[in-house]
Amino acid sequence: MHPVCIGLGSNLGNSMELLLDSWAELGRIPGIRTSALSRPYLTEPVDMESEHWFINAAGLLTTTLAPEELLTHLLATEQRFGRRRGPEDHCHHRDRTLDLDLLLYGELVMATPRLVLPHPHMHQRLFVLAPLAELVPGQEIPGSGRSVRQWLQCLLARPDRPAIEVRAWPGDRAR
């Protein structure tokens, strides 16, 4: 079993329910065992214009699936929850019902046309690092020389950091 960290996000529909339901669905896929889900965070959109703020979380799971096979399941889950991708998604971020990002796959470092690990922008994104620090604060981001906690502290020290606010799951449905 390989330890994996994923990022979950949504800014359309009932985002909290979408994240909880998609997390539960991931746990039903053969070869995936969900372990822990962070608290949800309300975050302002980054690198895009939108009036819809995001709910973001991070999840820890273990898998017997290879990275690209796991990515296929993440993308299929997004689609089942209403995510529609178009050619413009490669250049521009836009509103979405569900976004599942493969952040870390153990200590693996790889780059293919379809998948780069660790996620190439995770160390620059407060909406990724804040929830991820709840789960694996001491985890070094492979190739960066810094832990999740250290990268988070760097971003929190910036005066121009995006807004972020911790929330609670509906009905206190802690995972």
What are the tokens at 65?
A: 């699936």
The residue annotated as part of the active site, out of 21, 83, 94, 114, is: 83
3-state secondary structure of 70: helix
* Residue 122 burial (10 A CB sphere; 0-12, 13-18, 19+): buried
Give catalytic status of residue 99 as yes or no.
yes
The residue annotated as part of the active site, out of 99, 146, 160, 173, is: 99
Give catalytic status of residue 89 as yes or no.
no
Neighbours of 51 (CB within 10 A): 7
Distance of CA 78 to the CA centre of its chain: 12
Nearest to 98 by CA among 115, 116, 114, 79: 79
The residue annotated as part of the active site, out of 39, 80, 96, 125, is: 96
Q: Which are the contacts of 26, defined by CB distance < 8 A and separation ≥ 6?
A: 6, 32, 34, 59, 61, 73, 74, 77, 100
3-state secondary structure of 19: helix
The residue annotated as part of the active site, out of 101, 114, 172, 175, is: 101
Active site residues: 83, 96, 99, 101
